[in-house]
Amino acid sequence: MQVRTLIPKYDGLLIDAYGVLVHDKGCYDGAQEIINFLTTTKIEYLIVTNDASRSIPSLYKRFQNLGLDIPEDRITSSGSMLTPVFKRRKLRNKNTIVLGTQDSIEMAKTAGAKIVSPESSLPLEVVVVGDEKEFPLLDFCELTLSKIIDAYDEGRNVELVVPNADVIYPKKNGFGFAAGAIANMIESGLQVARPKCNWRFISLGKPEPFLFENAVKLLKSKNLLMVGDQLLTDILGANNSGLQSLLVCSGIAKYDSEHAIQPTYVCDSFSPDQKVHVVA
């Protein structure tokens, strides 16, 4: 079976971006072809990426620059889950420190956050760790931790949110620390300083259910296929949400039949003519 014959069995596709359509230097062979195939055959799809460092308009522009004609309303990210989560947990208009890029701040603002600086004297209510760049890392982490501890000591609650909990990411000559590492650092500090405090960061990216639930709601079906390159995020998240999955081996994971997490299908790369192997 080829990808082009598998896809129409589903009401829609959830497609991971990095490792499936794009890599750090461009897009994979076949990526433009698959997007054009989905467009011309009118198959529903959503991009579901854990990237929280770029806003949806920035992701849209990046895809367009790479020749991937993906409409903005088909792009969802762990960062864009701030909006439903802020609504559901009643975090709108609360004093929120955002550690991250200008795009991270914009996404929190869109979700309804009232942004405060870590140097502000206003009582802290929410912390969002959006990214590791564009702020004085150690100074702001120390100020944020201190304000969380102050709130705990004063009997006030602080909600901790990390849209993308990835700890590291592959870099040109090795690895870089990502937002998850910053959340872990703040959480570790809090646990040492106040061992009885059970506040923990909630993550909004895959494999957590937020992006999957959002997709089921937007595409109005549970007969969806998740296409991704990572077992611990894409495939595990799909399995937990009761969706079928296609593991694409162009990115991080190589297929391992002994692994505890198994996809429904496997293929080498994501393009219409690629051969698909059935796992389960």
Residues within the interface to Mg ion (CB under 5 A): 16, 18-19, 229
Nearer to Mg ion, 94 or 206 (CB): 206
Name, in order, each residue with C-beta under 8 angstroms of 236's C-beta and a sequence gap of 6 or more.
206, 207, 261
CA distance 15 to 117: 35
CB 113 within 8 A of CB 98: yes
Neighbours of 168 (CB within 10 A): 12
CA distance 37 to 212: 23
Smallest gap, in angstroms, from Cβ of residue 194 to Mg ion? Answer: 36
Smallest gap, in angstroms, from Cβ of residue 141 to Mg ion? Answer: 27
First vs last Cα of the chain: how many Å apart? 14
Smallest gap, in angstroms, from Cβ of residue 23 to Mg ion? Answer: 9
Smallest gap, in angstroms, from Cβ of residue 18 to Mg ion? Answer: 4
Closest to 79 in 3D by CA, of 116, 100, 109, 104: 104
Nearer to Mg ion, 137 or 249 (CB): 249
Paired tokens of 249:
């081996």
Nearer to Mg ion, 32 or 102 (CB): 32
Closest to 251 in 3D by CA, of 18, 50, 14, 16: 18
Q: Which residue is nearest to Mg ion (CB)?
A: 19
Nearer to Mg ion, 48 or 158 (CB): 48
Nearer to Mg ion, 81 or 97 (CB): 81
Smallest gap, in angstroms, from Cβ of residue 36 to Mg ion? Answer: 21
